[in-house]
Structure formats: C-alpha cells, structure tokens
Amino acid sequence: MKVYIETKRLILRPLTPEDAEAAFRWCSDPDVNTYLYYPLYHQVEDVRTWLESRNPDDPDVYDEGIVLKETGELIGSGGLSFHPERNAWEIGYNLRADQWGHGYTVEMLNALMDHIRKIRPLEAIDGIFASENYKSQRVMEKLGMIYVAETKFSKLDGSRTFHALYYRRNFLQPSKRCSICAQIHRIRRKDNPYFVWELETGYVVLGDHQRFEGYTVFICKEHATKMNQLSAYARMAFLKDMTITAEVVQRAFHPDDLDCELISAEKSRHMHWHLFPKHNGDTPRSGPAWLAEDLNDDRYIPTPQKLEELKQALITQFKQIR
C-alpha cells in the first residue's frame, strides 16, 4: 500500500523501478542475503524487474522504502503483510549492512503499525527468522514479540533450508467503553488539543484541569490494565518512557516535588501515569495531590493560550532530552 510517513530519522515511501540501483546495494550483498528467502541478485536489471512486479496498491501489503532523512539515501525496504488465516501481520525487512545496529528497523515497523491502526484493526504481528540470526531475534524482542514455536523455511531456489523460530505479539484491543482509548483515538486523528508528545510506548498529554500547573498524564498505547499484560520488553520500555516524561516535567516546571502515580488495575482501567508538579505552598497541608479538594474545579481548565504555553514548555524539553 502506498504510504508516505516521516519518523524522527526516517522517511517511508513507496519503492519504484527508479530505485533499482540503490536497492541493488542490499539485494546483491551476501551478508544481507544470508537468512533471506530470495536468492542473491547479480544484476541491477533483475532488481528492476522485481520492483516492476510489485503491486503498490495492495491494501494487505505495506512494503516501503526506508530513506534516511539526514542524507536522503534509500537504505532498505520492509513492512508488514496481512495473513487472514492467522489474523496477523507478518513483518519483513532488508537493510543495507552498513546501516545495521541503529534501530532503524524497529523505528520503521512501529511507524507502520501506528499507521495501520488508524485505518483498520491490528490484532497481532508475526515473524519467522533463522534461529542463528540473533540480530532479527533482537528486533522482534524490541517489538515486544515472544517465542511461539520452532519451524523451518527454505530459500526460494531451494539452495538452503533453515531451522527457524516463530515469534508473535498479540495486541490488546481498544475498548469501546474506555475513555482513555477514546482519547488515544482523538490523538491519532490529530483532534486532541491536550496532546503533547509521542513516545515509543505511550502518549503524553496535559491534564484537563491545571490545579497544579504542568499536570501531565502519560498514557499507555495499548489497552492494558496491568503491567503483566505487557511483554517483558514493553514493560521496561513503558517504565523508561515514564521516567523520561517525569524528567521533562521536572525540567519544564521546576517543582519542589513531583507526585507520580500509576492508575491501572483498580476498576480495570487503561494504564496511565499522573504527574503532578507541586510547589511549596500549593496546598494548605502536605500530602498527595489527590487531597486537594479543588483539584477538578473548572476554574483550573486552561485557556487555549495557556494550554499552548504549557505544551510548548514540555515540547521544548522533550526535544532537548531526546
């Protein structure tokens, strides 16, 4: 499917026959080809023929070119293809060997998954890799995928058969009755004025009422109600993103104290963190922010101008810390 997506470091765009020479750099590299299905390419024209044979309008296939923003170079391709018999999207990717180890594959796949979620359900992702291909195993672990079974696959020309591992990640689906899921839906539609920043595992928004100026909420992207519903990698990444958010709030508003609380299992609520920057004298007595009787008083709803000022204070710090 044709898409044009920008991430922090990449541009994802459709491949065209004009990309044949650039694609030949990885299609003809034995190191890149070692664990791939297709045989090694030896001529640019063969790559061009492959590019011409692709259907860029297939709604079940997102196979995009990966371009480095900084240089404009096409460095690889990859994406997801839907398999209805498994109700899952299978991941695949090829990257020039000199671009390995920078996290580009995970960045590309996360961006494509976010795009797909906006237009259709994404319930699971699958991946199969040669068991000795530790680099691909690490990619899948970073995507929150876990081991399912042993399997095997062969190159298309039959030249080699690999012992392989099948990894999968099932995504918790949004709840139609969840107010947090509704808020995420608005963020993805670019229709949430309180949205501030997107991190790997969640969204940062400002609180509706600013009794404590700079009150911020960090929302888990998945409709998880408990930490143990996330994969091991996702749990660690979620906590890391929370600490980044807390540091940003601290830098932006310089509070004397920062109350942080995770709301989750109680009443089976979608996990989200509350961060209250508190200054001495904010409340008549010491204690958590929740004790403030006027916490949700409508006089603390920020004006559009104040909301923009608070957002920019956070955005400035996110740009510096990332």
Pick the CATH number of 5-170 from 3.40.1440.10, 3.40.630.30, 3.40.30.10, 3.50.50.60: 3.40.630.30
Residue 322 has a pLDDT of 67
pLDDT band at 181 (very low <50, low <70, confident <90, very high): confident
Domain residue extents for the chain: 5-170, 179-321
pLDDT average, residue stretch 181-199: 91
How are beta strands 146-154 and 195-198 bridged, if at all? unpaired
Q: What angle do CA 190, 193, 195 make, to 5 degrees?
A: 75
Task: Please write the tens of the pLDDT for every residue from 58-111.
Answer: 999 999 999 999 999 999 999 999 999 888 999 999 999 999 999 999 999 999
Entry pTM: 0.69
pLDDT band at 176 (very low <50, low <70, confident <90, very high): low
Q: Between 318 and 178, whose confidence is greater?
A: 318
Task: Please write the tens of the pLDDT for every residue from 269-302.
Answer: 789 999 999 998 887 777 788 888 888 899 999 9
Superfamily of domain 179-321: HIT-like (3.30.428.10)
